[in-house]
Amino acid sequence: MALRFRKSFKVAPGVRINLSKSGVSTSVGKKGLTANLSKRGTRVTAGIPGTGLSASKLYGSGKKTAVRAEPTPIWTHVITWLLIAGVLWWIFS
């Protein structure tokens, strides 16, 4: 059984400080579109609130890794852009 710890504090509208076993991070955004800044890099998450559907992409911190990742299938990019378009339409409509 894994033991996890996470605590989040709201510091301003749309800005949170997150504490966990692995360190401190900052989240900026609201439901549907969030950017999380941490030592691992920046993770952008877009989703449709209330549906459970979301897509997430990690933009690394610039550190090179020894393991080469498999190329991402094109359908994951299509789903990501559809989710982003849906969230933007929901926000601005």
- pLDDT for the residue 62: 61
Identity of residue 82: L
CA 75, 34, 37 angle in degrees (round to 5)? 105
Its pTM stands at 0.57
DSSP class per residue in 9-78: EEEETTEEEEEETTEEEEEEEETTEEEEEETTEEEEEEEETTTTEEEEEEEE-S---SSPPPPPPHHHHH
Q: Residue 61: is its pLDDT beyond 70?
A: no
- pLDDT for the residue 55: 93
- pLDDT for the residue 88: 78
Mean pLDDT of the chain, nearest integer: 82
